[in-house]
Amino acid sequence: MSKTFEKLQPYLDKVMALQTARNLFEWDSQTLAPIESTDYTSKVIGILADEYMKCLTCDEVKKLVKKLKEDKEQEELTSNEKAIIHELNKTIEELESIPPQEFREFNEFTSLSNRAWVKAKKENDYSHFAPYLKKVIEFKKKFAKYRAKNNQEPYEVMLKDFEECFGIKDLDSFFDKIKKEIVPLLKEVAKKADTVDKDYNFLKYDIEKQKEFCKFLAGYIGFDFNKGVIAESAHPFTLNLHNHDVRITNRFIENNLESAIFSVIHEGGHAIYEMNIDDSITMTPVGKGTSMGMHESQSRFYENIIGRSEAFWTPIYQKLVDTYPENLRNVSLKQFIKGINKAEPSLIRTEADELSYPLHIIIRYEIERMIFTEDVDIERLPEIWNKKYEEYLGLTPPNYSQGILQDTHWSYGEFGYFPSYAIGSAVAAQLYAKIKEVMPFEEYLREGNLLPIREYLRDNIHKYGATKNTNQILLDVTGEEFNADYYVKYLKEKYEKLYEL
Amino acid sequence: MSKTFEKLQPYLDKVMALQTARNLFEWDSQTLAPIESTDYTSKVIGILADEYMKCLTCDEVKKLVKKLKEDKEQEELTSNEKAIIHELNKTIEELESIPPQEFREFNEFTSLSNRAWVKAKKENDYSHFAPYLKKVIEFKKKFAKYRAKNNQEPYEVMLKDFEECFGIKDLDSFFDKIKKEIVPLLKEVAKKADTVDKDYNFLKYDIEKQKEFCKFLAGYIGFDFNKGVIAESAHPFTLNLHNHDVRITNRFIENNLESAIFSVIHEGGHAIYEMNIDDSITMTPVGKGTSMGMHESQSRFYENIIGRSEAFWTPIYQKLVDTYPENLRNVSLKQFIKGINKAEPSLIRTEADELSYPLHIIIRYEIERMIFTEDVDIERLPEIWNKKYEEYLGLTPPNYSQGILQDTHWSYGEFGYFPSYAIGSAVAAQLYAKIKEVMPFEEYLREGNLLPIREYLRDNIHKYGATKNTNQILLDVTGEEFNADYYVKYLKEKYEKLYEL
C-alpha cells in the first residue's frame, strides 16, 4: 500500500464513522424517535456534521489528498484507491467552499425542517412548512453561490450533486424529447383509460396482510434480511450504514393495494444495489451507489421493468389472490397487469404510472429552476404547483398534502434530486435493451428465478459502487453513453401493446 | 460564566455528541440491526469510542479541568458546573488509566460478545459464548489493575463504577443482613406457597393484547410517549439519548402474564427517572441518573412498591380482566395480588419475587468475586452457577438459557452491576418509609393519581441527575445515609401480612 495513502487511512475511518452515525440518526429520526427529541438531538447531529467537516477539511487531509493526486503517487495506487481520492477531492472542494458554521447550521436546520414538513403534510398546512422551506432555499442559494465554478448557474451546481453526468442543457434536451414523444402517447392512452377496470385496487386491504405480502415480495426480489431491515415512515426511503446493513421503509394505505407493493419493490431495488456493493470498497467514500440517477435506474428497473411485467407476476399472482380472495377472486392476471399499468393523469408522483411519471418530474424541475433563477415568493409556490398540474396533467390538487407537500425532498434541501428519477427510468430502459440480448429475461421471471438478473446487475453495475460514473457504466455495459431513445422506444412499445393502439 | 469553563464547553459538546451516537448504536444493535451488520458496525462503534476517549483525555481538556479544580476557579462556578467538573475528572482518571488501543478493542469486542450471547442463549449453547466471556473477563481484569488505587481489589474497582458509595465491605455487611433476616422468612413463606393459586398466570395470553396493555401501563405510571418509545429486545432495558428521548424495551411471553407487565413497570421506573432530569443539566456529564443503585431504586420502587401493591391495581385490575376475560374472569383482585407477590424459589432473576430476589443477586455477587479473585476456569462457571442455585434456592437450572446465560450484563463486561439491584431495592424501601410520612401514598394509588408521587420523586431525586450521589440524596430526603434495616422491615411487614404468618 502507498505510504501516503496509509497515512490518510485513519482520517478516512473517522470520516466514515461520523457519516455512519449521522445516517443512523437520520434513520432513527424518520422511523422511531419521539416527537420532543428533535430540538435536543439536532444539536448532536449538528456537532457530528461539524466534526465530519472539520476532519475532511483539516490541513493534514488536504495535504495528503493533494499529494496523492500527483502522477508519481497515483502510480502506486490501486484503481479503487484512485477512485477514493477522486471522490474525496470532490467532497473536500464542496465542503471547503461552505463556511463551517453555516454548514453546521444547515444540518441542524434541515432536521427541524423535515420534522415541520411531516407535521405540515399531516395537517395539510402549507403555512407551517413555508418559513422552513424559505430558509432552506436561502441556505441552498448561498451554498450554490459559494460553490459555483465559471459562472455556473446555482441550479446547475445542485443538479450535479445528484448526477454529475447531467446539467441543465442535458436535461432540457432530455425533457424536450419526453414532452414531444410521450405527451401525445399519454393522451392516446388516457382516452382508453376507461377500458381498464381498476376498482379492485381501491377496496379494503387489511394492512397486516399487506405487510406480510410486502415482506414476501422483498425477499422474492432478493432483499437479504440478514443484511437489511424494513420499517415504516411517512415517505418510503432507503438508507444504508454499509453493504451489510441496508434499510428500507414502506407505508401502508388500507384502500390502495398497489401503493405499498410498488414502494417495496422500488426501495428493494435501491437496497439490492447497496447490498451488492463489493466488500473491498464498502465503508469507503466510493462504497455507495455512483449517483442518484444510477440509483433510481435500479429502483425503477425493479419497480417498473420487472415489477409491472406480466412475466414477474405469473408465478406469484395466485399468492396475492389467496391473500385477498374476497377482493381478487374475480380479477384475472391479465386484468391485474392492465390495472398496475393503467396510465392516466394523477396527483401523487410516487403512485403515478410509468407513462405520466416523467411529467411529475418535469413540473418539479421547472419549479426548482424558477426558485433558483427567479425571485419566486415562497407563499406562491402552491399556486404555481397547482397551475402546472393543471397545464401538464389537467388536474388540480384538492389540498396541500396531495400537492406541494407530497414529497420529502425539499425539507432536506434536496433540490436537483427529482430529475434523477427520470434519468433513472431512462437508464433502466437502456440497460433493459441490453439485458434482453444477453439472457432469457422474461423466461427467468416466469420461472420465478430472479437470481441471474440480480447477478448480472451486481457484476456489471452494483459491485463497482462509485468507482465508475453513470456514463462509464452505460458505456461498458451497453456500448454507448446515455441515450434517451431507448426510454421512448420502451414506453411506446409497452403501452402500444398494452392498449392495442 | 467562567471563562475557563467556556473554553471547555466545545469539548463537552463533542464528547456528548459522540456518547449519544454510541448510545444510539447500542439501542439499534439490540432492537433492530440486521444480523450480518455486526462485524462492520462494530468498527464504527470502535472508532466513535476512540474519538470519545481522545477528546476527553486530550491535553487541552486535562489542562482546563485541572485549572477548574483550583479553589479560585471553583468560586466562579455554579453548583452544576462544579458537579460537571467533578464527574469529568472521575471519567478522565478512569480513561487515562487504560491504553487507548485496548479501550477501543474492548468496545469493539463487547459488541461482538453481546451478539454471541444472544445466539448462545437462543440456542442454549454455553460453549458458543464461553470464549467471548473469557476474553471480556481478561479485558476487565487488566483494566481493573490499571485503575486500582492503593492496592484496591479489582472487583472493588468494578463495584464502584456502578455505585460509588458501596464497596466490598458494605456489600458483605448488607448481604449478611439479608441472609440472616430474609432466608428464614423466605423458608416460612415458601411453606405456604401452595396456598397461593397462580395457575392463571401461565395460561395463554395473546401477545398483541399484552403489548397494548403494557403500553397502557407505561402511560399510566407516567412514561411520556412524546419523550420516549417502547421497542422489543431479548432482554428488557432502558437507554436514553437525553431527557427528551428515553427508550425502553420489553419482551413478551405468551404463557406468562406477569413477565412483560412487571418488565414495563420496572423499565418505566428507569425511564421516568431519566425523563425527569432537569433541562439545565441534560446532555452534560451529570445529566443522568446518579448511579446504578439509585437507578435500580427507582425502577424497583415502581415495580415492587407501587406495582405489586393492592392499592395500585385497585383502579386498573378490571381493565386487565376485561383484556383477558377467558383467563381472569374468576380471579379476584385479592387472588391476583397474592399471585403477583407469590414468593418461592425460582430460576430467573428478572421474574423472581421480591423476597427471593436478593438471593439471585448474592449468587452473582459471589461468582463475580470468585472470577476476579480466584482463577476460575470459565468452562466451570455453569457448574458453579448451578451449585449455588441448589444451595441458596434448592433448584437446578435445566439448561444454560435458564441458568448462566439468562442475563445480558456479562456479555458487555458489566461486572459489579448486579449488586445495584439489591442496593436499589433497599434504597427504594428507605425512600418508601419517608414518602408514606409526607403524603397519602396508598390513597393516591387507589385513586389512580400517580402524579404527586412522580412529582415528589422528580423534585427530591430525579431532577438532580448526578449532581448528588446516592448517600447525599438519601441524607437530604430521609435524614440518614443508606440503612438496610428499612428494607428488612419492609419485606417482613409485607410478607407477614400477605401470608398471615
- Which stretches of A124-153 are DSSP H helices? 126-147
CATH of the domain at A278: 1.10.1370.30
**Residue B203 located in a structural domain:** yes
Is residue A187 very low, low, confident or very high in pLDDT (cuts 50, 70, 90)? confident
Least Cα separation, residue A339 to chain B (angstroms): 35
Residues B142 and B199 in one domain: no
Nearest-CA distance from B237 to chain A in Å? 17
Residue A267's pLDDT is what?
Answer: 98
* pLDDT at position A274 over 90: yes
pLDDT of residue A171: 96
For residue A490, the SS3 value is helix
Provide the domain count of chain A: 2
C-alpha cell at B218: 407505561
Facing residue for A14 by CB, picked from B41, B47, B227: B47
Residues A174-191 have a mean pLDDT of: 90
Partner A contacted by B35 (CB < 8 A): yes
Contact B229 A34 (CB under 8 A): yes
Q: Does A161 touch chain B (CB under 8 A)?
A: no
| Termini Cα distance of chain A | 61
B390 interfaces chain A, CB cutoff of 8 Å: no
On whether residue A71 sits in a domain, the answer given is yes
**Whether pLDDT at B350 is above 90:** no
Which pLDDT band holds residue A465 (cuts at 50, 70, 90)? very high
Q: Looking at per-residue confidence, does A12 or B184 come out higher?
A: A12
pLDDT of residue A88 exceeding 90, the answer is yes
Distance (Å, rounded) from C-alpha A23 to C-alpha B238?
A: 23
ipTM for this prediction:
0.89
Mean pLDDT within B117-144: 97
* A204 and A76 share one domain: no
Are both A205 and A98 inside the same structural domain?
no
The answer to whether residues A109 and A194 belong to one domain is no
d(CA B45, CA B48): 5
Same domain, yes or no: B426 and B479: yes
Res. A304 pLDDT band, cuts 50 70 90: very high
Smallest Cβ–Cβ distance between B227 and the set A16, A36, A48 belongs to: A36
- B311 and B408 in a single domain? The answer is yes
Indicate yes or no: CB of A21 within 8 angstroms of CB of B21: yes
Q: CB contacts < 8 Å between A and B, how many?
A: 112
Domain stops at, among B86, B114, B147: B147
Confidence class for position A235, pLDDT limits 50, 70, 90:
confident
Rg value, chain A, Cα: 23
**pLDDT 10s digits, B373-388:** 888 999 999 999 999 9
A28 touches chain B (CB under 8 A): yes
Helices H / strands E in chain B, number of each: 23, 3
Pair B339, B201: CB distance under 8 Å: yes
Q: Closest residue of A to B14, CA-based? A: A47
Are A254 and A112 in a shared domain?
Answer: no
Looking at the fold, whether B368 and B293 belong to one and the same domain comes out as yes
pLDDT digits (tens, 9 = 90+) for A42-87: 999 989 998 999 999 999 999 999 999 999 999 999 999 999 999 9
pLDDT tier at B94 (50, 70, 90 boundaries)? confident
Pairwise CB contact (< 8 Å): A229 & B35:
no
Position A468, amino acid: K
Contact, A268 vs A249, CB < 8 A?
Answer: no
Question: Which residue, of A87, A115, A132, is where some domain finishes?
Answer: A132
Question: Would residue B162 count as lying in a domain?
Answer: no
Q: Collapsing DSSP states into helix, strand and coil, what is residue B394? A: coil
Specify if B160 maps to a domain.
no
- Please indicate, yes or no, if residue B152 is contained in any of the structural domains: no
> pLDDT band at B501, cuts 50/70/90?
confident
Structural domain of residue A259, as residue ranges? 168-498
What would the mean pLDDT of B201-206 be, rounded to a whole number?
Answer: 98
Is the same domain home to B382 and B480?
yes
Rounded Cα–Cα distance for residues B82 and B325 (Å): 56
Residue A138 belongs to some domain of the structure: no
Residue at a domain's end among A84, A116, A132 = A132
Q: What percent of chain B has pLDDT over 70?
A: 100
- Among partner residues A17, A25, A226, which is closest to B35 by beta-carbon distance? A226
B67 with B215, same domain: the answer is no
Residues A122 and A251 grouped into a single domain: no
A429 found inside a domain = yes
Residue B161 lies in a domain: no
CA A284 – CA A18 distance, rounded (Å): 12
Give the confidence band of A351 by pLDDT, cuts at 50, 70, 90: confident
Residues A126 and A187 in one domain: no
Least confident of A88-102, B194-208, B455-469: A88-102
pLDDT of residue A394: 87
Residue B463 has pLDDT above 90, yes or no: yes
Cα B347 to the chain's mean position, in Å? Answer: 19
pLDDT tens-digit series, residues A479-492: 999 999 999 999 99
Q: What is the DSSP string of B212-277?
A: HHHHHHHHHHT--TTSEEEEE-SS--EEEEETTEEEEEE---TT-HHHHHHHHHHHHHHHHHHHTS
